[in-house]
Amino acid sequence: MEVQETRIQTDRVLTIPNILSMARLVGVPVFLWLILWPEFGGPKSDGWALLVLALSGVSDYLDGKLARRWNQVSSLGRLLDPAADRLYILSTLVGLTWRGILPLWLTAALLVRDAVLLVMVGILRRYGYPPPQVNFLGKAATFNLMYAFPLLLLSDGSGWIPSLAAIFGWAFAGWGTTLYWWAGVLYVVQVRRLVRADAMAD
């Protein structure tokens, strides 16, 4: 895993890709409210929650693609995109675990991995390195999880559609969790190499 540097092409804040990323961030509390509403006596709104999640997936694809195509890669965009990914994963984990759809061990596995990466980011900053760009492996893990969560939400019911959703949902969850940890291990290895190289240089 190598640090992937993407050249900053603009310092503008209000670009179309950044607006899409901001809209994704605004959708996070909306999604969490929709998914937890039944737990607080409200109507089941899984359909609306799935729609918000689907729109976030579309915007996730578009913001990066448009930023590169229109030469609008920005420092803000490089922060917003992974932040929105992490927050959607966190909010979905909270919602699905609260409703008993996800087991606690899977939620813990994903949260521990993120905690490890936060520690690694802190170490990199201490040595003057920026956080590495999200690479293909990390993106693949996120995409698998973003497919898994809607399917697992859809599996909360009876009939052949929820049953089929459960099969595919757990398959994507397994692949996504494995890739998530694989990307995390490679990240730790990268940080160790950078720190060791700095120590040898001194």
| Res. 49: pLDDT tops 50 | yes
Minimal CA–CA distance to 119: which of 202, 171, 195? Answer: 195
Tokens of 48: 């609306």
- Provide Rg for the chain, Cα atoms: 18
Mean pLDDT of 160-170: 92
To which residue do tokens 């939400």 refer?
Answer: 153
pLDDT of residue 202: 59
Q: Where are the domains of the chain?
A: 16-201
Which fold does the domain 16-201 belong to in CATH? Four Helix Bundle (Hemerythrin (Met), subunit A) (1.20.120)
Mean pLDDT of 184-192: 85
C-alpha 103 chain-centroid distance: 19
pTM above 0.85, yes or no: no
> Any alpha helices (H) in 43-135, and if so which ranges?
46-69, 75-98, 104-126
C-alpha 135 chain-centroid distance: 12
For residue 95, how many other CB atoms are within 10 A of its CB? 22
pLDDT of residue 153: 86
- What gap in Å lies between CA 21 and CA 62, rounded to an integer? 9
For the ranges 51-65, 109-123, 184-198, which has the lowest average pLDDT?
51-65
- The tens digit of pLDDT for each residue in 105-150 reads 999 999 998 888 888 888 888 877 776 666 778 878 888 888 888 8
Tokens of 63: 């913001």
Tokens of 200: 């040898």
Tokens of 68: 């590169």
Q: Distances from the Cα of 185 to the Cαs of 120, 154, 155, in angstroms? A: 11, 31, 31
Mean pLDDT of 55-69: 76
